Amino acid sequence: MVGSALERRLAREGCEILTAGRQELDLIDQSAVRAWMADRRPDVVIIAAAKVGGILANDTYPADFLYDNLMIEANLIEAAFRNDVEKLLFLGSSCIYPKFADQPIDEDALLTGPLEPTNEWYAIAKIAGIKLCQAYRRQHGVDYISAMPTNLYGPGDNYNLQSSHVIPALIRKAHEAKLAGAPSMTIWGTGTPKREFLHADDCADALVHLLKVYSGNGHVNVGSGEDMTIEALATLVMQIVGFEGELEKDLTKPDGTPRKLMKADRLRDLGWTPKIGMREGLETAYRWFLDHQNMAKL
Ligand code: GFB
């Protein structure tokens, strides 16, 4: 999802875009990554690839989330260094911060408290990615930077209900409940956790901005600066989809971290603000789902 958004955004920049699709390159395979990098020799590398998923996938496959992400980032960063890549941008996640960090979460809250258990494996891998960039910068003087996006959504999202994040899950559930004429749809947990969301196209725009203007050691939060409860999100999705039934709660499913609104000041001070509002963003995501239902249901 983020890689495609970056391709759309970079098309306006007049640069040659090299992509490494899943079929073409296994990012977990160190020698394949080294060979690809030596052959293509990019000037800039953006690490948008990762093993990602929603709260249940993170909680169910801790080994995959830790191992795959450590390997992907370590292989890419080392291969980039060996091939004199001028600039590298590593993407992390807002789950790197402590479960009970003060809100909104400042970049400096990193490593100040225990992580949220449902996604600590993914978080540890992403923290290691930040530290790799800082270590290569410190030891080798290279311009490797890190950005921490909030929960993202948009075209190309994963709509599998077992592995998806909350927005695609709610879009699909509301759509299917509407078609079935169901009396209700079910959300996981209490509906009280708050989340901050950003459209993938806004995220891509922020990342290109960072590549142009930022060369610092510290990671930068990439968010909208606003959050909402899961229940409010579900109500908005139901309105957009046109499902008028009731909302049920499955309390056997986890809530995860109670809140993770990130402080947006660093990115705003660097001259970037989001452009796509929640309603507009959700409408475009729903349209993409309707146009790609066969693919989205895989
Ligand atoms: O988006 P989500 O799966 O990830 O869940 P996290 C956000 C909130 O939505 C949680 C609730 O409180 C869920 O319990 N929720 C309600 C649902 N209904 C549903 C549903 O049908 N599906 C899903 N998936 N959630 C992830 C991390 O945490 O956020 C990752 O696990 C990553 O590592 C990502 O950082 C951005 O926001 O809880």
Residues with CB under 6 A from ligand 1: 54-55, 58, 93, 95, 118-119, 122, 151, 164-166, 169, 187-189, 193, 195, 230, 253-256
Give the pairing of strands 44-47 and 143-149.
unpaired
The residue whose C-alpha atom lies closest to atom 35 belonging to ligand 1 is: 95
**Region for residue 225 given its phi and psi (left: phi exceeds 0; alpha: psi -120 to 50; beta: otherwise):** left
CA 27: distance to chain centroid? 18
C-alpha 162 to ligand 1 mean position (Å): 11
63 φ, ψ (degrees, to nearest 5): -65, -45
Distance CA 69, CA 50 (A): 6
pTM (two decimals): 0.97
Which pLDDT score is estimated for 166? 98
How many angstroms is it from 29 CA to the middle of ligand 1? 29
β 194-199/87-91 pair status: unpaired
165 by Cβ neighbours in 10 Å (0-12 / 13-18 / 19+) ranks as buried
Q: Is the pLDDT of residue 296 over 70?
A: no
CA distances from 254 to 118, 164, 249 (A): 8, 14, 11
| Cα gap 298→294, rounded to integer Å | 7
- Is residue 281 very low, low, confident or very high in pLDDT (cuts 50, 70, 90)? very high
Task: Give residue 133's region: left, alpha or beta (phi > 0; psi -120 to 50).
Answer: alpha
**Calpha distance 18→45 (Å, rounded):** 9
Q: Which two tokens stand for residue 151?
A: 């929960």
Q: How many whole angstroms separate alpha carbon 3 and alpha carbon 258?
A: 29
Band (297; pLDDT cuts 50, 70, 90): low
Write down the mean pLDDT value for the chain: 97
**Tens of pLDDT, residues 83-115:** 999 999 999 999 999 999 999 999 999 999 999
| Ligand 1 atom 3 nearest Cα | 54
Question: From the alpha carbon of 230, which atom of ligand 1 is closest?
Answer: 9
